[in-house]
Amino acid sequence: MVYPETFTGFMADGADSWPPKFIKREFTPKPFEDYDVDVEIEACGICGSDIHTLTGGWGPKNWPLCCGHEIVGKAVRVGPKVTLIKKGSRVGIGAQIYSCLDCKQCKNDNETYCRHQIDTYGAIWPNTGIVSQGGYASHIRGHEHWVFPIPEAIPTAEAAPMLCAGLTSFSPLIRNGAGPGKKVGIVGLGGIGHFGALFSHALGAETWVISRSHSKEADARKLGAHGFIATEDKDWNEPHRMTFDLIVNTANSSEGFDLGKYLSLLDVHGKWVSVGLPEGEGQEVKSHMFMENGCFIGASHLGSRKETLAMLKLAADHGIKPMVETVDISETGLASAVSRLRKNDVKYRFTLTGFNKVF
């Protein structure tokens, strides 16, 4: 057992081959500090971010890297100043592992927008030069503020993908008033979008899924969507013009995307919030696209600790069931799962399990 001096993970050395080669090796975590929690990992979701990182689509990274930021496991060590997490409890860590907790943003539950925020993997810990490493690993170490107790009602493999994909859809929904009497659109039914449909429905909003084809219509309705729009249909936007209060765009590609048509769905001052970060050039935005309804466009990044806890409570209280396929973590299991995810060949999220067999 190499823990606690080093952790072991499946690491990639660069973005020059596909599928990536995952090599099992030891790495040194940041030094343990008073507010830190060590988590022995039991499950980790595979996020679209992992794919964009491993393909090189998001640009150069601090290789070698252990991806994975939808982590659930057991808190096996807590620092002397930790008050939020009990040793031995089941906890989760998402896509953010640190922020200053002192700036205006941090003090207003906007720590996800802190200028000093640190990504769970691929960032550099201040004053150490150590690269943060994610959840395709035996352990992770993080500040208690980014470690979340997981309610008993949520199974581990289902809780994991909530911590990035779930939260990414939940935060813009609650920040923009999704609830009874509101009509909410979720663009794209992938990992994030499927959580968007589940949460929007659970929050009481009239929920519509907007997808390219009708192929996912039955799934969308299973997830709680009241309606479904396929953009392959002629004049698909016409019956819904100026009826939506909020649209959360989770699309992972902007190819062939007619933004003007989507914005025409919004009621006066309705909001279009993007949460995906497609690779490539993106689309053209002209002010006349907003004139007809005075709509707003923006984006949303993850969510706060407060929102994470609220999301987990909502999921537990409503018995929310995401669609998750589990895969045992290994060199080959990882290579096959990331290849399938890149082709959108999953309904709708992979969670890696079987950590005790390899670590």
Binding site residues, Zn ion, CB under 5 A: 47, 49, 95, 99-100, 103, 106, 114, 164
Report the C-alpha gap between 290 and 309 in whole angstroms. Answer: 35
Between 46 and 91, name the residue whose CB sits nearer to Zn ion. 46
Nearest-5° angle of CA 345, CA 346, CA 348? Answer: 140
Q: Between 67 and 82, whose beta carbon lies closer to Zn ion?
A: 67
- Quick one: 65 or 106, whose CB is closer to Zn ion? 106
Which tokens sit at 327? Answer: 């895969």
d(CA 27, CA 50): 19
Nearest to 307 by CA among 188, 199, 187, 153: 199
Four-CA torsion 75, 77, 81, 85, nearest 10 degrees: 10
CB of 50 to Zn ion, least distance (A): 7
**What is the DSSP secondary structure assignment for residue 164, as one 8-state letter?**
I
Half-sphere exposure in the Cβ direction for 185 (13 Å, CA): 30
Distance of closest approach, residue 68 Cβ to Zn ion, in angstroms: 9
Q: How far is the CB of 129 from Zn ion (least distance, A)?
A: 21
How big is the chain, counted in residues? Answer: 359
Indicate the residue among 7 and 98 with the shorter CB distance to Zn ion: 98
Judged by beta carbon, residue 150 or residue 263, the one nearer Zn ion is 150
Task: Residue 339: name the closest of 47, 19, 52 by CA.
Answer: 19
> Minimum distance from CB of 235 to Zn ion (Å)?
35
For Zn ion, the closer of residues 140 and 263 by Cβ is: 140
Comparing C-alpha atoms, which of 40, 66, 78, 53 is closest to residue 156?
Answer: 40
- Name the residue nearer to Zn ion (CB basis): 164 or 324: 164
How many CB atoms lie under 10 A from the CB of residue 10? 25
Contacts of 39 (CB under 8 A, 6+ apart): 71, 73, 74, 75, 76, 91, 93, 139, 140, 141, 142, 147
Q: Which is closer to Zn ion, CB of 195 or CB of 359?
A: 195
Of the pair 9, 270, the CB lying nearest Zn ion is at: 9
- For residue 111, the minimal CB distance to Zn ion (Å) is 6
What letter would DSSP give residue 30? Answer: P
Residue 97 CB, shortest distance to Zn ion, in Å, is 13
Q: Kindly state the smallest distance separating residue 163's Cβ from Zn ion, in Å.
A: 8
Of 224, 282, 275, 217, nearest in space to 246 by CA: 275
Cα 193 → chain centroid = 10
Closest distance to Zn ion from the beta carbon of 175 (Å): 18
Smallest distance from the beta carbon of 209 to Zn ion, in angstroms? Answer: 20
End-to-end CA distance of the chain: 9
Structure-block tokens of residue 341: 């995810």
